[in-house]
Structure 1
């Protein structure tokens, strides 16, 4: 895909956890503003997945990266932070469910 006259290398295409989790901040930080559409209620449920999938391409098009290695180094930080945030969020949600379930079961046992 070519946008702004800049070819997107095949090796950078793919999922970006930073763009998925930190969509608005990631978008502003990478000078790509389509992730701001995640601020639209209900539409954002669909759009966060688009941002996660297309984020690398958008960042490459808008960025002034010398090469793919530099781009990957920058995005690796976003990816690590996004993935850890996702894992921690799922863990907290699971703990919440277990706690809620045990409270609910105690309530009905009385």
Structure 2
């Protein structure tokens, strides 16, 4: 198959890249800038933001292929894999910090109460 990346909506998208993209889902607007997929900014709109995250996860690879010129399918897949790993790592860190805060907050209040503060 010839390299059709960066040719817009009419670009033929290789079947091997049509899969879920965790990078587009978790790092949506930043991912969108790098991949020239500016529709990702809709993730910042309060009512439709989460729905748009899901749409980016589903269609992100297709849109990134159509909107940006890539050297090859392999290079595209390599870069999207990096985005996915970064997105998952950041999500794990953020969720872990949230859980840690949820656990520590009552403990700190209890400690403050016990110290007479």
Asked whether the two chains share a fold, i.e. TM above 0.5, the reply is yes
For 2:98 and 2:19, the matched residues in 1 are separated by 27
TM-score (norm 2): 0.77
Gaps of 5+ in 2: 1-7
Post-superposition Cα deviations, 1:58-103, rounded to whole Å, max 9, x if no partner, equal 1011121232101011212211211110111111111112123445
Matched, 1:86 2:91: yes
SS of the residue aligned with 2:46? coil
Match of 1:32 in 2: 37
Q: 2: distance between equivalents of 1:74 and 1:45?
A: 24
**Pair 1:63-2:63 in alignment:** no
Q: Figure out how many residues of one structure are paired with residues of the other and give that number.
A: 106
Q: Deviations over 1:36-59 (max 9, x none)?
A: 111211211221111122111110
Cα distance in structure 1, aligned partners of 2:10 and 2:49: 29
Deviates more, 1:69-78 or 1:3-12: 3-12
2:14 pairs with one of 9, 13, 36: 9
Which of the two has higher C-alpha Rg? 2
Q: When the two structures are superposed, what TM-score results if normalisation uses the length of structure 1?
A: 0.81
Find the aligned partners of 1:80 and 1:53 in 2 and give their Cα distance.
16
Counterpart Cα distance in 2 of 1:15 and 1:101: 38
